[in-house]
Amino acid sequence: MKSPLYICAAALLLGGCKTTTEGYKDKVEERFKNKEVANISYFADSTITMMGNLDLTVSKEGAQRIRRFIDMDSPEVQEVVKWNDSLKQDLHDMVAYSVELVNMTSEENITEPELIDRYADYLAKYRKQIEESQSMSLSAFDRTLEAIREQETFLEAVRTAQPIFNAAVMQSALKVEQLTAVIDTLSGEIDEAIDVEFAGIARAKAHLQQEKAAVTDALALVYAAYRGEPQAWKSLQESDAVLHPDLVIKDTPERADLEAMRKYLMDRLDELHAVEENIRPNWEDYLATHKELASFSEDAVLRVQEVRIVALTWLQAHNKMASGVTDPADWFDVRDLTIKLIKSTPDLLL
């Protein structure tokens, strides 16, 4: 059973992806020597590094209070698991594809047509996945594969495959939004559950605050009566803070009456303060639980949203590499991606 921590944080782990292409670089560079093509091994290494740097785990210390409010069998939790697993698979596929590019191009004695066919065959394995995700129509997918096989160079074949990756990454971005929405819904349900459990404490705290405010106002009236303000005593007679009518039975108070009233109100404040101190641990636990939930949910959403940025960055890099941009430094340009995101979806980032 997955822990609540795993569920609420949507921890998209990339275990097993810590691979490098170092051993293939010489062969890849030899194949494309003296050609205006991209360094595919750099693309694969950068993909692995970028995916490996995704820190999507959340410490258990961040969910000590809220874990008891998470129902592992709730539909929202099951939805989080579903989208979490699906996104994790998408990230694994990006890494596997990037490494496979290097594996293909590093083989000796393989002709360009054979390499292109092998590339198309590799992509064809994702046909069922494309059908299930509906990221693009099967007819469009099949036409793209046919077009790939018709290309004369491997880089042209990779460039022709770009629509497949555009569709796949856009689908991943939609999954991120789905997962974010479910996390928000789950967070709202946990928030309500916290309020239900601490309802008694919350009511007691609110009542104490009202009582203390009433007593404080009554004390102000006592001091006003000391100063001879005639309306002050009448207001005290009508005050809810005075629970003993015999204290305000006289129409015109003497100094001893005012002193008795002052002492009574001060004693009431002490009693209210004692009750407040008694429930303070529970009240602070209530506030801390809400605070932990807010922090935990915000952190989970930010980590999930990072997947979208990484996936779009990878897509941009693949597009630039396939388009003939030969300087690897231009592929993984997050600043360029950020500008495009702001122009295309400003509401998404504000």
Is there a domain that residue 245 lies in? no
33 lies in a domain? yes
- Kindly state the tokens that stand for 105: 């191009």
Q: Count of alpha carbons within 13 Å of 337, Cβ hemisphere only?
A: 18
Helices (H), the chain: 4-9, 25-31, 40-52, 75-105, 112-124, 127-133, 138-149, 154-160, 162-197, 199-226, 230-238, 255-322, 334-344, 346-349
The pLDDT of residue 286: 96
Q: Is residue 215 part of a domain?
A: no
pLDDT digits (tens, 9 = 90+) for 303-315: 888 888 889 989 9
Domain that holds residue 42: 4-197+286-349
| Least confident among 90-104, 174-188, 244-258, 273-287 | 244-258
Residues 41, 98 contacting (CB under 8 angstroms): no
In a domain, 62, yes or no: yes
Q: Is residue 227 part of a domain?
A: no
* C-beta neighbour count of 195 within 10 angstroms: 13
Give the mean model confidence (pLDDT) for residues 200-208. Answer: 96
Q: What is residue 54's predicted lDDT score, i.e. its pLDDT? A: 67
- Cα–Cα distances in angstroms (integers) from residue 74 to residues 269, 301, 304, 343, in the given order: 45, 19, 20, 38
DSSP state of 38: -
Q: What is the DSSP letter of 305?
A: H
Report the mean per-residue pLDDT for the chain.
80
Q: Are 324 and 155 in contact (CB under 8 A)?
A: yes
Do the domain assignments include residue 273?
A: no
| 275 within domain boundaries | no
The amino acid present at 159, given as its one-letter code, is: R
For residue 300, the model assigns a pLDDT of 86
For residues 235 and 120, give the distance between their C-alpha atoms in angstroms, rounded to a whole number.
89
* Measured CA distances, 227 to 104, 161, 224 (Å): 95, 89, 5
Render pLDDT for 25-45 as a digit per residue (tens, 0 to 9): 444 444 444 344 456 777 777
Q: Which residue has the tokens 């785990």?
A: 57
pLDDT at 278 over 50: yes
Mean pLDDT, residues 167-196 taken together: 93
Q: Percentage of the chain surpassing pLDDT 70?
A: 79
pLDDT of residue 168: 92
Q: What is the pLDDT of residues 90-139, one digit of tens each?
A: 888 999 998 898 888 888 888 999 999 999 999 999 999 888 888 889 99
pLDDT-derived band at 142, boundaries 50, 70, 90 = very high
Tally of structural domains, the chain? 1
| Selected residue with higher pLDDT from 147 and 61 | 147
- Is the pLDDT reported for residue 83 higher than 50? yes
Q: Is residue 131 part of a domain?
A: yes
Question: Which residues contact residue 340 at a Cβ distance below 8 angstroms, ignoring those fewer than 6 apart?
Answer: none
Nearest 10 degrees: Cα torsion 24, 30, 34, 40? -20
> CB of 334 within 8 A of CB of 312?
no
pTM of the full structure: 0.72
